Amino acid sequence: MKSKIQIIAVDDDLKFLDRLTSFIKEIPGCELMACLKSGTDLLGIIGACRPDIILLEIEMPGISGLETARIINSNHAEQKMVAMSIHQERVCLRQLIEVGFRGFINKANVSEELLHAVFCLSRNKQAFPKSGFQCEKGISGLK
């Protein structure tokens, strides 16, 4: 019997993190390992605990989610990560893929998109929306 899908959620918006936690707990077969409020917090534990999926806000103070993903990807290329942002129209899909993300969740639609992302990644598929990205500018935050 397969164990539960282990998830770590990272976001500096604590209200959103509480909401996300509630949604994760409602998904059968999933377990929330940790809720963290920064990329620095995630980098501090990623060597010791290996979640199946990391849900990572890409725009955070300090080290951005993009830079956090790049660092994780350089050391653990197999790690499945899903980017999250409320500003999908400012996100460059190519940039997300380059730093190691395998999916994207628009935070405004988290209740609809979370289950799809977890389902896809648990089957080794990507979970990116088919449209809505801006590739000319992209979000800053990648060193």
Query: Would you state the pLDDT for residue 117?
Result: 95
**Average pLDDT for 127-136:** 67
Tens digit of each residue's pLDDT (9 = 90 or more) over 50-91: 899 999 999 999 999 999 999 999 999 999 999 999 877 667
**Average pLDDT for 110-130:** 91
Going by C-alpha positions, the residue among 74, 73, 27 that lies closest to residue 54 is: 73
Q: Looking at 26-35, 39-48, 125-134, which range is the least confident one?
A: 125-134
For residue 127, the 8-state DSSP code is B
Residue with tokens 């500096």: 12
Share of the chain above pLDDT 70, in %: 88
Checking if the pLDDT of 124 tops 60, the result is yes
Query: Would you state the pLDDT for residue 135?
Result: 56
Checking if the pLDDT of 42 tops 90, the result is yes
The full 3-state SS of 42-82, as one line of letters, equals HHHHCCCCCCCEEEEECCCCCCCHHHHHHHHHHHCCCCEEE
Checking if the pLDDT of 2 tops 50, the result is yes
Query: Would you state the pLDDT for residue 22?
Result: 94
Query: Would you state the pLDDT for residue 142?
Result: 42
Q: How far apart are CA 42 and CA 92, in angstroms?
A: 23
Checking if the pLDDT of 132 tops 90, the result is no
**Average pLDDT for 7-15:** 96
